[in-house]
Amino acid sequence: MDKSSHVLTLPSEPREFGFYMDGDWVAAGEREMFERASPGHGVPVTRTPRCTEDDLNAAVASARTAFDDRRWSGLSAADRSAVLLKAAELIRERIEEIAYWETLENGKPIAQARAEVSGCVGMFEYAAGLGRALHGETYNNSGDNALGVVTREPIGVVGVITPWNFPFLILCERVPYILAAGCTIVAKPSEVTSVTTLLLAEILSQAGLPDGVMNVVTGSGRTVGQKLLEHMDIDMLSFTGSTSVGRSVVEASGRTNFKKLGLELGGKNPQIVFADADLEDAADGVAFGIAFNTGQCCVSGSRLLVERSVVEEFSRMVADKLSKAKIGDPLDETTQIGAITTDAQNSTIMSYISKGQEDGAHLVCGGKQLDLGQGQYIEPTIFTCDSMDSAIAREEIFGPVLTVIPFDTMDQAIAVANDTEYGLAASVWTKNIDKALTVSRQVKAGRFWVNTTLAGGPELPIGGFKQSGWGREAGMHGVEEYTQIKSVHIEIGKRTPWVE
Ligand code: NAP
């Protein structure tokens, strides 16, 4: 590893956390603990409790009481907004600390973690305004004796289950919007990356959020996560994770209380590059799109469809870009590509690389694990394939593995882009406006980028078509998702009698 640049130091011993309920920390006490080793360094960095079913029930009861007594939903939107704005200020003050723990648990580069946490400040600021803009409708057109009012009410207690790839960012794409709607929350982060979710709960209390409105339970998905999604007192569940666990979320909702679901699931996202694109820009964007967060990104541009006349040249350009990106210690300020977050994900990625080779795909670059002395790292890898038949062209790998497929016509590119069960995100790279607009209309994806990738902001909703999910997070849609609609019929004056 390059030690010439500034490198933050590891903690001398793992930091122990409790969980967060009813406006305060609950000490781990006698509970079993989960010890997390930094994926970039292999040394233990945090210890978090494995919450029990009783802990979960207590957290849900706390959120239920806080919702039912209207201590949050009964406030004016202006008062709720003040809390969210204060939280934004406190997050800004603690960017370094949050980014440090995010990097230690996740393995992402510290500079990237900082940028993500800074982006979350904007989520809170924007959602603060949205809460005040939320409104209903009136129908003043039903005659002199009637008025119709349509109101939006907060849906109630919301469970939030988040994955390990962007623990703080994904959380902040949901929590401020849920709070702006007036709901209360029980969050369950991935067990391997729990700490920044706990820190957000503490920050929200310091910002003046009433006790019980934000609760965090820690523990594994199979235990505490499963109990959360089955819980009868959870009114809505926002689940972000794999499509396979998403199926069990749907099944659990049907088997219990038909809780409303928001599902943000997997993707196999096409990047379509036409020969008339600015190939230099496109190569840079494609390299970023597959290597950002080591490709452990639901919207990573993992399928590269390139017009046949430039496919070889363009693949080489992307490989060249990737060879110059700095892989290494996530605590090094200059690192661009960090570690693979879990051992299981490391094995999954390496097994897809083997499958690609067995299926006869041509390896353009990468394909190996990197021995940096400590931690787990995989070289950005490019394969070219002739068709969509291979597993590496069809299945979500969730790693830095790019599969290149050539195309001859725009219609063919659109057909290949849509030849997937997923519909999360897509990009087109071209300087021809007609092609850009036609492809953006016809590719089935919840997020679409023209001459860029992985761009976004608090204004733009996030979500998938097809098996990539249901509903939208962020933006005004992300607040409205957490409301339900009530129609109020008001009679004016004397009723026309039914019985004379
Ligand atoms: P995952 O295994 O589905 O886990 C996601 C979350 O669900 C974690 O908190 C996990 O807890 C929990 N969980 C696992 N099994 C559960 C169960 N039976 N009941 C309740 N909760 C359960 O997914 P992952 O491997 O962490 O994340 C990668 C996947 O997420 C990829 O498919 C990616 O595309 C998708 N993703 C989608 C988006 C999006 O916005 N569309 C964003 C990010 C990621 P533990 O980890 O503690 O077991």
Q: Are residues 30 and 171 in the same domain?
A: yes
d(C-alpha 414, C-alpha 302), whole Å: 16
CA of 243 to the centre of ligand 1 (A): 8
Q: Are residues 279 and 235 in the same domain?
A: no
Atom of ligand 1 nearest to the CA of 220: 47
Q: Which CATH number covers residue 404?
A: 3.40.309.10
Q: Are residues 24 and 57 in the same domain?
A: yes
pLDDT band at 3 (very low <50, low <70, confident <90, very high): very low
Of these residues, 116, 298, 379, 395, which one is catalytic?
A: 298
Q: Are residues 108 and 202 in the same domain?
A: yes
Position 497 in a domain: no
CA of 363 to the centre of ligand 1 (A): 30
Ligand 1 in reach of 128 Cβ (< 6 A): no
Residue 451's alpha-carbon distances to 70, 211, 283, 320, in angstroms, are: 46, 45, 11, 20
* 238 closest CA partner among 151, 165, 152, 172: 172
Position 389 in a domain: yes
Position 97 in a domain: yes
Over the stretch 141-169, which tens digit does the pLDDT of each residue have? 999 999 999 999 999 999 999 999 999 99
Q: So what's the pLDDT on residue 221?
A: 98
Q: Are residues 88 and 186 in the same domain?
A: yes
Over the stretch 415-446, which tens digit does the pLDDT of each residue have? 999 999 999 999 999 999 999 999 999 999 99
Position 274 in a domain: yes
In the sheet that holds 303-307, the strands lie side by side as 362-365, 381-384, 401-407, 303-307, 270-273, 425-429, 447-450
Q: So what's the pLDDT on residue 6?
A: 86
Residue nearest to atom 11 of ligand 1 (CA): 221
Position 205 in a domain: yes
Cβ atoms of 295 and 287 within 8 Å: the answer is no
Whether 173 is a known active-site residue: answer: no
φ/ψ region of 360 (left if φ > 0, alpha if ψ in -120 to 50, else beta) reads: left
Position 6 in a domain: no
Residue nearest to atom 23 of ligand 1 (CA): 241
Residue 2 has pLDDT above 70, yes or no: no
d(C-alpha 464, C-alpha 446), whole Å: 4
Q: Are residues 204 and 349 in the same domain?
A: no
Residue nearest to atom 40 of ligand 1 (CA): 264
CA of 1 to the centre of ligand 1 (A): 31
Of these residues, 264, 395, 396, 473, which one is catalytic?
A: 264
Q: Are residues 157 and 22 in the same domain?
A: yes
Over the stretch 235-281, which tens digit does the pLDDT of each residue have? 999 999 999 999 999 999 999 999 999 999 999 999 999 999 999 99
Q: Are residues 322 and 231 in the same domain?
A: no
Q: How many domains does the chain have?
A: 2
Q: Are residues 261 and 276 in the same domain?
A: no
- Of 168, 172, 190, the residue with max ligand 1 atoms within 8 A of its CB, to mutate for a pocket test, comes to 190
Percent of the chain with pLDDT over 70: 99
Containing structural domain, residue 355: 270-450
pLDDT band at 1 (very low <50, low <70, confident <90, very high): very low
pLDDT band at 480 (very low <50, low <70, confident <90, very high): very high
d(C-alpha 313, C-alpha 315), whole Å: 6
Residue nearest to atom 41 of ligand 1 (CA): 264
Q: Are residues 171 and 30 in the same domain?
A: yes
CA of 161 to the centre of ligand 1 (A): 8
Whether 385 is a known active-site residue: answer: no
d(C-alpha 494, C-alpha 477), whole Å: 40
Q: Which CATH number covers residue 481?
A: 3.40.605.10
Atom of ligand 1 nearest to the CA of 468: 41
d(C-alpha 165, C-alpha 125), whole Å: 23
Residue 5 has pLDDT above 70, yes or no: no
Residue 418's alpha-carbon distances to 276, 332, 412, 421, 466, in angstroms, are: 22, 39, 10, 8, 10
Atom of ligand 1 nearest to the CA of 248: 18
DSSP 347: H
Position 234 in a domain: yes
Number of residues that this document lists for the chain: 500
Q: Is the pTM of this model over 0.95?
A: yes
Q: Are residues 284 and 238 in the same domain?
A: no
Over the stretch 36-76, which tens digit does the pLDDT of each residue have? 999 999 999 999 999 999 999 999 999 999 999 999 999 99
Position 101 in a domain: yes
Q: Are residues 226 and 303 in the same domain?
A: no
